[in-house]
Amino acid sequence: MITKILCIVLIGLCFSIEILDFSLMGGVMKKKIHIEDKKCVLCGKCAAVCNVNAITREGKRMIYDEEKCISCGRCVEGCGFLAISYC
């Protein structure tokens, strides 16, 4: 009986560690981007290639929404002025 309880506790512990590890990995793996205003010419290409509308133009600035971003890298590759990089 004690062995069975011990096994259940150990399995539960391992499962919890796996879930924690997975969520930590997800947090680390999600890359954020940075738009350098000085290099940006407001061409709008980054906003056009972003499938989740994480980049929008507001006045004379391109605004990045970290919550919407899925870290696909299309804007980084698409900016011909090297104004976008990973943080």
- Binding footprint of ligand SF4 on the chain (CB under 6 A): 33, 35, 40-46, 49-50, 52, 54-55, 62, 69-75, 78-79, 81, 83-84
Contact between 75 and 46 (Cβ < 8 Å):
yes
Contact between 44 and 65 (Cβ < 8 Å):
no
How far, in Å, are 26, 28, 64, 77 from residue 17 at the CA level?
14, 16, 33, 36
Return the number of the residue (9 or 41) whose C-beta is nearest ligand SF4.
41
In the complex, minimum distance from the CB of residue 73 to ligand SF4, in angstroms, rounded to a whole number: 5
Sole residue written with tokens 């943080």: 87
Return the number of the residue (22 or 81) whose C-beta is nearest ligand SF4.
81
In the complex, minimum distance from the CB of residue 27 to ligand SF4, in angstroms, rounded to a whole number: 16
